[in-house]
Amino acid sequence: MLARIQRRLAALYDLEPMPDVECFVCGPELAAELAGDDAARRREVLLVLEDDDGVHVALYLAPEVLAELARRRPAFDAVQLATEGVSHFLYLAFRERNAEPVSRLELELQAEVDKYAVGLGVGAGALAGNGVGVFRERQRLLRERSRVLRERLFARARFLDDPGTDEGERYRLAHRAAARYAAQLEARYVDAGRLEELALELRRFYRVGARDKLALAAQ
């Protein structure tokens, strides 16, 4: 599942070959050593250590999440946690490869957008098929999927960190911006069946920094 998510995101964003995320998954012991109780509480944590030798990365997913991902049809929440983790890993690697800084806000905002894009199936042949009737029916289903997905991702979201805390405010800001941006994408591209343009817009969003991401989301 992690490899599948990585391939989908890499194809969507036209990324150069990246390290295999599955090689960087760590267990609870290392996660607890580096992140304390926070790792178990969040169930998904990208662990980053920077020293003179460079940047060292590990991705923690709770054992129950990994077990759920191994099922034939894993639960929605497990897939979203996995997508968030893979998104963090890829975006950090992308910025590091281009010698560009990245903030925690950028990582969280991009992950929220990635969960929408992966759930929608952008770049995965969502509208594949022959015939006008088939195309229209699949376009209708895609519009419906987008609305349901935005409801589950953004309207029903719960936060682990209290409002007013640094982490709580960062997650809420990223969440609000991603919710606005996803609504824009739906109105401008999904409803009109402009899937190729949607993919191009997502690629543009991926390559700008936090300030420009927030500006795009506010349009």
At 138 the pLDDT is: 78
Q: pLDDT for 53-108, tens place per residue?
A: 888 999 999 999 999 999 999 999 999 999 999 999 999 999 999 999 999 999 99
Cβ within 8 Å of residue 214, ≥6 positions away: 109, 177
Contacts 24+ apart (CB under 8 A), 71-77: 74/1, 76/152
pTM: 0.91
At 193 the pLDDT is: 87
At 132 the pLDDT is: 52
At 135 the pLDDT is: 62
At 133 the pLDDT is: 59
Q: What stretches in the chain show pLDDT beneath 50? A: 127-128
At 156 the pLDDT is: 87
Cβ within 8 Å of residue 173, ≥6 positions away: 105, 109
Cα dihedral 133, 121, 65, 4 in deg (nearest 10): 110
At 143 the pLDDT is: 92
Q: What is the DSSP string of 146-212?
A: HHHHHIIIIIT---SSPTTSHHHHHHHHHHHHHHHHHHHHIIIIITTT-HHHHHHHHHHHHTS-HHH
